[in-house]
Structure 1
């Protein structure tokens, strides 16, 4: 969404005054303006409410028992990284109170008896200023994220492309210099190295374009009837071609046939990345399993289908867990393994498009289990499964 088009929805006004009649009048006025309003009868109560809410504007009486408005304002400002806009309500011609209000952190003030027309305008003005400030902060945060993303892309490209490029250049140079001496088998060996390296680079580019299209909303979502068993077997066969002899790939499903209404291309992408990760991050080999189970508990969505991919590889550390779905993020123990850090980003997006969930259970040096739970009828597709 364009930041400039993002509205400030239903601003929340906190009204703090020890006079009930004043609170009622102010609440009614704010609600007529289309704002939500909550009340506090003293400074202590206001602080309690402030801790559990994020009011956009606070109308704060300066003189109250127990804790006056000035002390309350100071504490609110100190409690928040994003200080609220406070309109202090002071006595007429009380210059000392006005000074104390601004020193405490108030944004504006209004005197008693309250001129309601003036109050409305000052609230509107502060809300416009807050909206402009929030938009600026969002834009700055977006710029910071883009800067970090550019840095990660440059680092990833320089790291991930260097190895296959070196393989291609060195193999081509050897073929050029010595190819005329070699037999056909040795030539094919070096040609296959070039092809494998070029294929790896092509996959990197494909993943980057896919993530870019996801961010821009350019991935079409077209659910149709999918033979889940056939799809899983096809993806497993493809995964076997990338596995080493030390890997044992196993597939199991709790029924002979299973249909779903999914976008087959997207689910294929999801499974391919999960199995690729399981193989890649099990450098010593071991078992890599894909288990598929069906439950008819959720009848509104045609039931649910679980796709579980398990490996006995290096696992994920607790420190890495909060970041595993971040674009280009690589685990601390995976620096020597080729990869872009895009796999789980793509998987999570594929799951969300179908209205599903993803859970990961992993322990260092013990392995990882990724469980994807999808509705058999993808979100947004209410048609029955016919095949």
Structure 2
């Protein structure tokens, strides 16, 4: 579909000739205006792709004034039509940053060529502005990322420094229980730093992982069974993980092996990270225990994983930012974490060409659903 051009010309005969010429070239002319106020109203109503504006118009408002208003309010490109080439008018017109000038009388070829150049120039500027805004947003996110990363590293480092200083300078005044307490704080902080560094490195490998995505045949049910065994070791006795596969004939409280085990091509390392993170989160954010349902559904063209817990849930105010790096929900309290896990999970799901979604209610629990094409 060709672009819409609003013609603003105070001579009706010339305006009709321009309309005919433009329509002959394949453009659409939705309206003709002869007054500046009328041109602004039509621009607001029709939102044309370009305005062909006569410098001299009927009424109190000049074409230059109307063009300035249209550009400021609607960001629509303007090409001037004028019978005047004096420097005074040209200087005034330049202040509105037009996309071209056509001097009367003009030939059809000149009119069409000027319009085509103006439209192409405008599209280029739009693309450049969009690219600039994306770059600004990228730099903003990057700056926020490093700021938050600095904050996350500073806390455990401060704990290590404080405990080490106490052990060094006041060792004789400390009993063995207090020394053990400070050593435990140091060990926990070091472990936190190690986990944080590992997650940050995973985030940094995002571009590399696009080329390292290597799906291979995988015995999915046995793979998930082993993940559940590992997760159950770190969970309390109050946590019960129930694993089911659609169409399977038996279920136990820990896991089942489907009678018809299937080999599916997925990236094992990435899938391990996806499911391990979701399972450990289900345990971690269910501090009182409860049942965790881990289900697999085979449907044509994809496999669906559903992990449902009975934990603290996700407050509605936090749900929009759940997959953002370093975001932690307002109700996690002292539960440890750095807010990077789900950001990495989402990235790995998308590398598979899949989708991740969730539903949650505070105090009731959370359900994550991962769809992966196979």
Q: Distance in 1 between matches of 2:320 and 2:343?
A: 13
User: Aligned in 2, Cα 1:217/1:100: closer, same or farther, shift over 3 Å?
Assistant: farther
User: Aligned in 2, Cα 1:285/1:38: closer, same or farther, shift over 3 Å?
Assistant: farther
Residue equivalent to 1:332: 330
1:270 is displaced (CA, Å) by 1.1
Q: Distance in 2 between matches of 1:212 and 1:152?
A: 11
User: Aligned in 2, Cα 1:314/1:109: closer, same or farther, shift over 3 Å?
Assistant: farther
Per-residue CA shift, 1:161-213, capped at 9, x if unaligned?
634773698489869969xx989xx98x9988766654443222222112112
| Structure 1 contact 294–306 (Cα < 8 Å) conserved | yes
User: Aligned in 2, Cα 1:191/1:292: closer, same or farther, shift over 3 Å?
Assistant: farther
Based on CA coordinates, which of the two structures has the bigger radius of gyration?
2
| Structure 1 contact 213–219 (Cα < 8 Å) conserved | no
1:1-387 → structure 2 map (5 Å cutoff)? 13-17=3-7, 22-23=18-19, 25-26=21-22, 38-42=28-32, 46-50=43-47, 55=49, 58-62=50-54, 73=67, 76-77=70-71, 79-80=73-74, 83-88=75-80, 90-93=81-84, 106=98, 108-115=100-107, 116-117=109-110, 120=113, 124=117, 127-128=120-121, 131=124, 134-135=127-128, 138-139=131-132, 141-159=134-152, 162-163=155-156, 166=159, 170=163, 197-215=189-207, 219-254=211-246, 255=248, 256=258, 257-296=261-300, 303-334=301-332, 336-375=334-373, 377=374
Ranges in structure 2 where 5+ consecutive residues have no aligned partner: 9-14, 33-38, 249-257
Ranges in structure 1 where 5+ consecutive residues have no aligned partner: 1-9, 32-36, 297-302, 378-387
Q: Distance in 2 between matches of 1:289 and 1:335?
A: 24
User: Aligned in 2, Cα 1:284/1:358: closer, same or farther, shift over 3 Å?
Assistant: same
Q: Distance in 2 between matches of 1:108 and 1:355?
A: 45
Specify the SS of the correspondent of 2:113.
helix
Q: Distance in 2 between matches of 1:341 and 1:28?
A: 60
TM-score, with structure 2 as normaliser: 0.71
Q: Distance in 2 between matches of 1:348 and 1:335?
A: 24
User: Aligned in 2, Cα 1:128/1:353: closer, same or farther, shift over 3 Å?
Assistant: same
User: Aligned in 2, Cα 1:156/1:339: closer, same or farther, shift over 3 Å?
Assistant: farther
CA RMSD of aligned residues (A): 4.5
TM-score, with structure 1 as normaliser: 0.69
User: Aligned in 2, Cα 1:161/1:98: closer, same or farther, shift over 3 Å?
Assistant: closer
Q: How many residues align?
A: 340
